[in-house]
Structure 1
Amino acid sequence: MRRRRQWTSSKGTFNPDDEQRVKHTKIGVWDLYEEITPELKNVPGGAKLEQLNEMKQSIPYIWRMLQDLSGLKSCWLALALYVACTVVLSLLPAVALWYSGQMLRIVESAVETRTVDTTVLTRVAVGRMTVAVVKRLLNHVKSRTMTLLDQRIKAHYSGHIFEAYARLDLPTFEDPIVRRQLEAAEGGRSSVAWDTVQMLANTFSHVIQLVSQVSVLLSVLRGQRDGTLIALLSFISPVFQWMRFQQFVSHGVWAATCRNNSYMRLQGLKRMVTSPIHRKEIVAGNLFQRLLNEFYVAQEAVGDDGGDFHELRRKYYLRDRLTSLSLLSDPLKEIPQIVFALRAVQYPASIPITLASLNLIQSTVSSFSHSLLQFFDQFGSVAVHLDSIRKLYEIKNIRLKVQDGRETYPENEQDLRSGISVEFRRVSFKYPGSDAYALNDVSFKIERGQLCVIVGVNGSGKSTILKLLIRLYDPTEGKILIDGRDIKALKLKDLRHAVAVLFQDYSHFPLSIKENIGLGDPYAPYDDERIERAAEAGGAYDFVKKLPDGFDEYLDRPVSDYYSSLPEGTTSLFGRSVDHSRVRRMGNMSVAESSQLSGGQMQRLAVSRTFMRSVADDSGVGLLLFDEPSASLDPQAEYDLFERLRALRGNKTMIFSSHRFGSLTRYADVILYMRDSVMDEIGTHESLLKKGGGYANVYNLQARAFLS
């Protein structure tokens, strides 16, 4: 069974420049750094003790997993059958060994008496054949059961993982440590839970197999001259081979990086010519010959050192090394034959028996040593899998960085019809991982029912204000008040229910258009009439109706088509266009089907989603936030959008951010002019023009550009 890649959350730091604790190895174009000092460096076997301690902490989670699986009606019977097959299969090698011992006794008797008991021989032969047939049947049943269990266990825990992902707030989701923990818990093609079940079953199987084989081997060799000695000598070579391999395998903390500019340029050039994103620039810029020359120059500079890190590392560890262990490994294989030859010279009459014993011992030791070394090698894997199960259950308890409030909002639902008041008091904010202020000491107040427009150049902090209002993030400094109450004290669910928002960096879900719009109101079932009203309000109704599947059209098909090389004349398949690109021709590959809608049409769909709750009779929305809602629209579409917004607004508070001046600012009750993350000016359109400051300068500049 493959070993799952380990994700560690150990405390402390790993510093590649610490020469006392970190070993540096150059592998081709890669620099590998491995920690060489374990946590318990002064304790004999400290690393193993630490693993045992981690395993102990994970045992309650393993028990919880087994309880969950045994409680699944669709799993417990298959799981019991899988365990039964595993146990019986682990005993079959010992049974086969016992029959081999019987065969040895038949040979011994034949040598001594020159006769063969055909009844016993037939029984032994039938027994060996039966063992082979049973083994094949059990492996078949086990394989079918494994497939079934893998599917059902993965399906069971997919809901667990989905919930863990869905509950995360934005800063927690963006935390790379949290993302790695989620990815580790999610696993690969099979689930973490199923891999752990297999690991536990295989470990238990190896224990049974080892104990049973040892017992039978000792029973068979009892009375055989030098049988036990030759058996022990046969173990020496496999143990040395295992030791030789283990000294080159790192089980601790390590990191690798590439500093070879030629190799990085080589990979960048490959990605550039294979990605459809850059194709227009390559063709329009006539870059073919230049890129080709750059590629061969980089390839020659890299030489034989280039390659994927894991592949180069594998070759590095497995390359033939001349060490004391490698020198001893092969000669040690000959010791059993040498002992056999010496004893044969001393006792010539027993050569046939000893030869049969030697054959039995060596074949048995080969199988036995393989199982034994697998068991030892799995010790680290057991710790990794147990830790993975602990992380699988702990992901639902990841502490969110945006803490929920306790106060219900609003106290009176009717208050929302008059809008929501918003106040920033000396608010400053830095995005996680950044030292620069996105907002710096910003203060302003918007009364209930007012129309506010936040203007400024890109990067001035406009979008950040809206993100703080919906509590995607919390301020680094200062306080935000909603209807005079601290925004942090309000329940997040209530706050976000009272606000409808469209962000500049909006996204579309890999669902149908109907579902994309309908999810604008997550508290109501899909209503075709309301969805069409929202689409009409957002300006999307007309072009959606012209699509082949109308509102059932998928923007980005979440399940791609798979097909091999097709005749070039094939332009469509399953009602969709066929891609004859290099990736498709590789066979059994796929590229997600994406919508061909324009940027303006996609933005209208996003606006329609925001309108989904606004068109309801009792929407429960008191604040509408729009971040650059017309960025991808032409002037006529922008004008139509603003007219619809004004008509739908009613008495709600509405806040816009925009870098365009004039289309909506003339109607604004208050304008916030942002510059370099600071609130530069506050006022109405007329008052700011009269003031002649930054707002007036930018407005006049845009007006002249439009009129010229």
Structure 2
Amino acid sequence: MFSLPPSLLSTIFDTPQCSDYSDDPPGHTTTSKHSSLFDIWSSSRVIAAEHGDLLLTPGGQRPMTTRNISLAIHVSERCIPHIFSLLWSLHPLRVMLMLSLDIFRGLLPACRGYSQAMIINELQAVISSGGFSFARLCRLIATDVLRMAVESLIDSLANRNADIVQSSARFIMEYRQMEQRLRMDVPTLENPHIRDLFQESELFVRSFSGMSSFGLLSPLDLFRVLALISELASHAVMLWSLTSSGTHVWLLLFSVISTIFPLLLSPWTRNRDLGEDTHDVKEAHATAKQNRMRGLAHSDIHRPEIVLFGLGPWILQSWAKARRLTLGLEQNRLGEDEWPYGSLFSQLNLTGAIDALQNIPILIALQASSNSLGSFSLYRSSVQSFFFTGRQLAQTLRMGFQGIFLMGAFCTAMEVQPQLQPESPTATIKYRNTTRKGMKIELRNVSYTYPGNHTPALKDVSLVLEAGETLAIVGYNGSGKSTLAKILLRLVDYHAGRILINDLDLCHHDPTDFHTHVTAVLQGFSKFDSSFKENVGVGYVPEAGSDDAVEKAVELAGAEHILYSLPNGVETMLDSGVAGQSSSSSSAPSSPNLRGEFGPIQGCLRHQRYGLSGGEWQRIAISRAFMRANRPEVDLIVLDEPTSSLDPHAQNHVFDTVEEISRSPTTGKRIKTVVFITHRLSTARRADKIAMMEHGAMTEFGTHQELLAKGGSYASLYQASV
């Protein structure tokens, strides 16, 4: 079981449940070893301290500033031991073998160079002496062939072992990521910083697919650092053995200086770091604006307003200005924050000159008759390999530096608690209902505001619904009806007030446990690119594979005619109409669509997909709710406009079924509480109580006759509908 130390438990955001929370972006945070991991990760995303509201996009490259290096150290101290503990627990022997082979493989390039130098020396001796030792040359060649065979065998063994470790690590990391993602509730994922956190966590998980795939570096790839260090050490020993005299030492120093000279010029050929350059702050703003304008230009949703208000030229000009800045076309010729010598050195092609200079030591050394061609060939290749490996090591460390923050995002994401989960396990209560008469619901001044909005969606809503009663929620569009339903279903949180379920505070209920006692038809119900049986069966997963259970739910919803019209019955694959495909209005075959909520579907290449009309999909959603509606543990049925696409006869059938399910088959007494939202006030008359919603507030509450007698908004709306 993957776990982090108790100190990490304090890194999770103390988001109070059932109360106000903020989605403001985190600004510059002063970090210390006692700072939360989330604060450290958030602080690393701040582009500049004076621009605390400007954050890197998820996956953005952190500049290697002193501040970020300090943050990376804090993240490493908290996360690396636990990540490697998890990886070690998968295949300890294979991980040890992978580590040993990587170190050993680092020694092979030096051995290769030495073997080839010996062959060169033998050929030089043949040419210079005129003699020829065929046996010795054959032995050297055979030795080199054997070396290559052993090296190939080791590479094959190492790669096979690394693939097994890599695949196992990838699976467990993907599993943990998906497991945690599925635990999250709607309010948690509405927070933009939580979304960014999970996006960077996903990048960390993707890094286990291999560095070449995404340009990322996983902890397993960091084993390459050991191989590179081993290779550097072997080349260093080889070079030291070749520089026995003072002349050779000076030649070695010349080669070293000529090799690293271009690196010394790098500060003069680049601008200052991102985090300290105000020009990059402007570029970040321009990038964000460029993406917004591009989104508007490609959006079908906003197309009517773009055409209506003539926004095309404004969008194009705004995008062009931002794009020119991001491409460097709007930069000053010589800004005050630019290095004045960069343009000078950037015009010089030093590569050829450096390569020529590095040949001088070989020419001088070859003048000594005591030196062999093979030794200087080995000397030359070792120098080049030493610095080539050094550059690889530097690049790997730079990538590893970025990977540290992605690892920090993963560790933080793994400890995020759903916002609706009670804060303390000791405060969590199980759902209880001793009366078995349905669910009693009491709201006391409940208010809710959607993230990013200032106008409350619900304002001081209070009502009491006794167990077994039926409540109809009516009102105009945008009055808060669906929001109230989501709060009752514990899908979103409320920011003020209290909700009591069977006289116990809803905040203390475990949402997962609470959801087993409710069923619902949501206004925005899901359509899955899957079989008819799966679309219905997800309403009660334990019986999702039962044809009898599915057909019973379909019968309760009055959707038998849909099932009978499908060519393969409950196994017919349905087309949700997403991914650019529109559903047909009849059960006609549609083109195959392999993408959906369930991912690739087995057998989808053998079956045509069938599109359904809006009313037919609504019947499936109702069937889905009825999969569990008549189960004894379900005490609440919530229906949000469940019959908006159905004809009056179908509508009456659905509500008659709900009425039947909500009563005991033996005594006829109410055993389930029902809450439904409707625009059809003739249907609202079925309810025991009616709540009239206006602008987020409940303006009237009572029976149908009581509200008619008041002559208020409900009476006016009812008279207009009949």
Q: TM-score normalised to the size of structure 2?
A: 0.74
The unaligned stretches of length 5 or more in structure 2 are: 1-37, 211-216, 332-337, 580-588, 594-603, 664-669
Q: Partner of 1:402 in structure 2?
A: 420
Change (3 A) 1:511 1:623: same
Alignment partners' CA distance in 1, 2:538 and 2:477? 29
Shift in Å, 1:444: 1.1
Q: Partner of 2:171 in structure 1?
A: 155
SS of residue matched to 2:359: helix
1:61 to 82, 85, 89: 82
Change (3 A) 1:222 1:124: farther
Q: Partner of 2:199 in structure 1?
A: 183
Conserved? CA contact 1:240–1:325, under 8 Å: no
SS of residue matched to 1:630: coil
1:475 to 494, 505, 509: 494
SS of residue matched to 1:425: strand
Q: Partner of 2:214 in structure 1?
A: none
Equivalent position amino acid for 1:58 in 2: C
1:239 to 244, 255, 260: 260
2:141 to 125, 131, 136: 125
Alignment partners' CA distance in 2, 1:232 and 1:426? 80
SS of residue matched to 2:638: strand
SS of residue matched to 2:637: strand
Change (3 A) 1:365 1:252: farther
For residues 151-230 of structure 1, the aligned pairs below 5 Å read 151-187=167-203, 190-192=206-208, 196-222=218-244, 226-230=247-251
Conserved? CA contact 1:607–1:629, under 8 Å: yes
Deviations 1:178-216 (A, max 9, x none): 233333333389454875354222111101111112112
Shift in Å, 1:601: 1.3
Conserved? CA contact 1:425–1:480, under 8 Å: yes
Please tell me whether residue 427 in structure 1 is matched to residue 446 in structure 2. yes
Conserved? CA contact 1:98–1:220, under 8 Å: no
Q: Partner of 1:10 in structure 2?
A: 41
Alignment partners' CA distance in 1, 2:482 and 2:534? 26
SS of residue matched to 1:539: coil
Please tell me whether residue 675 in structure 1 is matched to residue 694 in structure 2. yes
Q: TM-score normalised to the size of structure 1?
A: 0.75
Shift in Å, 1:123: 2.8
Q: Partner of 2:389 in structure 1?
A: 371
Equivalent position amino acid for 2:711 in 1: G
For residues 430-509 of structure 1, the aligned pairs below 5 Å read 430-509=449-528
> Which stretch shows the higher mean deviation, 182-191 or 320-329?
320-329
Alignment partners' CA distance in 2, 1:485 and 1:20? 46
Conserved? CA contact 1:263–1:299, under 8 Å: no
Conserved? CA contact 1:671–1:682, under 8 Å: yes
Q: Partner of 2:584 in structure 1?
A: none
> Which stretch shows the higher mean deviation, 108-117 or 233-242?
108-117
Q: Partner of 1:662 in structure 2?
A: 681
Q: Partner of 1:565 in structure 2?
A: none
Deviations 1:271-294 (A, max 9, x none): 46xx8x999x9xxx9x9xxx9xx7
Shift in Å, 1:609: 1.2
Q: Partner of 1:582 in structure 2?
A: none
Conserved? CA contact 1:21–1:35, under 8 Å: no
Conserved? CA contact 1:97–1:213, under 8 Å: no
Q: Partner of 1:587 in structure 2?
A: none
Alignment partners' CA distance in 1, 2:146 and 2:402? 38
Alignment partners' CA distance in 1, 2:368 and 2:198? 68
For residues 5-404 of structure 1, the aligned pairs below 5 Å read 9-12=40-43, 38=65, 40=67, 48-70=69-91, 77=94, 79=95, 82-83=98-99, 85-103=101-119, 105-106=121-122, 109=125, 113=129, 115=131, 117-187=133-203, 190-192=206-208, 196-222=218-244, 226-242=247-263, 247=270, 256-258=284-286, 269=297, 271=298, 302=320, 322-324=343-345, 327=348, 329-330=350-351, 331-339=353-361, 343=364, 348=367, 350=369, 353=371, 359-389=377-407, 391-404=409-422
Alignment partners' CA distance in 1, 2:695 and 2:473? 13
Please tell me whether residue 635 in structure 1 is matched to residue 648 in structure 2. yes
Equivalent position amino acid for 1:96 in 2: R
Alignment partners' CA distance in 2, 1:340 and 1:512? 73
1:607 to 616, 622, 644: 622
Equivalent position amino acid for 2:390 in 1: L
Change (3 A) 1:476 1:199: same
Equivalent position amino acid for 2:182 in 1: A
Percent of aligned pairs with the same amino acid: 25
Deviations 1:439-479 (A, max 9, x none): 11111111222111000112111112222222223321111
Equivalent position amino acid for 2:526 in 1: S
Shift in Å, 1:166: 1.7
Equivalent position amino acid for 2:75 in 1: E
Change (3 A) 1:510 1:354: same
Q: Partner of 1:586 in structure 2?
A: none
SS of residue matched to 1:433: coil
> Which stretch shows the higher mean deviation, 467-476 or 110-119?
110-119
Equivalent position amino acid for 1:612 in 2: M
Q: Partner of 2:12 in structure 1?
A: none
> Which stretch shows the higher mean deviation, 510-519 or 235-244?
235-244
Conserved? CA contact 2:430–2:509, under 8 Å: yes
Change (3 A) 1:94 1:189: same
Alignment partners' CA distance in 2, 1:300 and 1:605? 46
SS of residue matched to 2:444: strand
Alignment partners' CA distance in 2, 1:23 and 1:168? 26
Equivalent position amino acid for 2:591 in 1: S
Change (3 A) 1:383 1:609: same
Alignment partners' CA distance in 2, 1:648 and 1:302? 61
Alignment partners' CA distance in 2, 1:52 and 1:221? 39
Deviations 1:55-108 (A, max 9, x none): 23333113312322226xxxx55x566445534432210101222443454466
Q: Partner of 2:533 in structure 1?
A: 514
For residues 541-552 of structure 1, the aligned pairs below 5 Å read 541-552=560-571
> Which stretch shows the higher mean deviation, 379-388 or 213-222?
379-388
Shift in Å, 1:623: 1.5
SS of residue matched to 1:667: coil
Deviations 1:212-240 (A, max 9, x none): 121123224435x7433333323334434
SS of residue matched to 2:690: strand
Change (3 A) 1:336 1:356: farther
Shift in Å, 1:355: 6.7
Conserved? CA contact 1:23–1:34, under 8 Å: no
For residues 541-620 of structure 1, the aligned pairs below 5 Å read 541-555=560-574, 577=591, 596-616=611-631, 619-620=632-633
Change (3 A) 1:55 1:666: closer
Deviations 1:336-379 (A, max 9, x none): 334555x47xx9564x9587655443332222211112112322
Alignment partners' CA distance in 1, 2:608 and 2:350? 56
Deviations 1:521-557 (A, max 9, x none): 2455643222211111123232023223322234459
Conserved? CA contact 2:255–2:361, under 8 Å: no
Shift in Å, 1:148: 4.3
Alignment partners' CA distance in 2, 1:15 and 1:382? 19
